[in-house]
Amino acid sequence: MGEFWSRILQNYPYVFALALFAIGIYTILTHSNLFKKVIGINIMEGSIYILFIAAGNVRGGVAPILDMTDTTLTYVHPLPQALMLTGIVVSVSVTALSLALIMKLYRFYGTVDAKEIMRIRTEVRANGARIS
C-alpha cells in the first residue's frame, strides 16, 4: 500500500492532470450554464497540456532554447511544448466557436441556460410556432 502512495506522490503532475481532466468533463456534462460548459472544456484541455509538458520535463533542465555558449546544459524535452502550443491553438478555436454559438443561442432564446433552452423548445414545439 505504501508503495502505491509513494508512486502516486512521485508522479504528482500526472495525477493532477487526470484529476483536472475529470473535473473538466464533470463540468461540461453537469452544469447547465453554457458558459460553464465552455470553461469545462478549457479546464479539460488545460489538464492535458499539463500532462504532456510534465511528461517532457527533465529534472534540472532549462528552457529548450539552444545556448551555444554552454554545452553542459540539459534541456527540457522541446517536443511536447511545441505540440501543446498547437493544442492551445486548437483549444482557442474550439472556445471561439462555442462562444459564437452561445451568442447565437442567446439571440434566439434569450438565455444561456441549457435547461431553460430545452424548456422553451418543448413549449414552442407544443405550440407549433417557430423560433426565428
Using the contact rule CB under 8 A, the part of the chain among 2-10, 57-65, 67-75, 99-107 near another protein is 99-107
Which residues, listed in sequence order, are joined to residue 33 by a DSSP beta bridge? Answer: 113
Letters for 57-76 (x = contact with another protein by CB under 8 A, - = none) are: --------------------
Using the contact rule CB under 8 A, the part of the chain among 1-9, 25-33, 58-66, 67-75 near another protein is 25-33
Q: Is 98 in the site for another protein (CB under 8 A)?
A: yes
Using the contact rule CB under 8 A, the part of the chain among 2-10, 43-51, 58-66, 67-75 near another protein is 43-51
Cβ pair 70, 31 in contact under 8 A: no
42-74 in b/e burial notation, b at 16+ Cβ within 10 A?
Answer: bbbbbbbbbbbbeebeeeeeeebeeeeeeeeee
Residue of the chain from 97, 115, 122, 123 that contacts another protein (CB under 8 A): 97
Task: Give least dist CB 119 to another protein, A.
Answer: 13
Footprint on this chain of another protein (rule: CB under 8 A)? 21, 24-25, 28-29, 34, 37, 41, 44-45, 48, 51-52, 55, 79-80, 83, 86-87, 90, 93-94, 97-98, 101-102, 104-105, 108-109, 117, 121, 131-132
